[in-house]
Structure 1
Amino acid sequence: MRRRTEDIMNAFWVVGISVCIPLAAVGLYSLQARLERWDHDRHAED
């Protein structure tokens, strides 16, 4: 029984990490684009 529980938890970890890492990457990518656009607009006002 314990081995089955460990297998289920490992599967949840793999699925969770497989979902979270791409979401974090997309979030950071859009954050970088937003910050670059903000920096460009800020210097355009100078």
Structure 2
Amino acid sequence: MNENGALTKRIVKESARLQQEPVPGIDAIVDEHNPRYFKVIIDGPSE
């Protein structure tokens, strides 16, 4: 497997882990067309 293939495989694996074990206060949504791009929403402090 070339370097890009290994990188993409790792990104897919870690993206799945983020879905299964979300980090409190952070939403990371994978771009459906390119697994290297994410939409990330970070919650600010509650007032």
Q: Work out whether the TM-score is over 0.5.
A: no
Higher helix share: 1
Higher strand share: 2
Instruction: Compare CA radii of gyration and give the structure with the larger one.
Output: 1
Measured against the shorter chain, the TM-score band is 0.3 to 0.5
**Normalised TM-score (structure 1):** 0.44
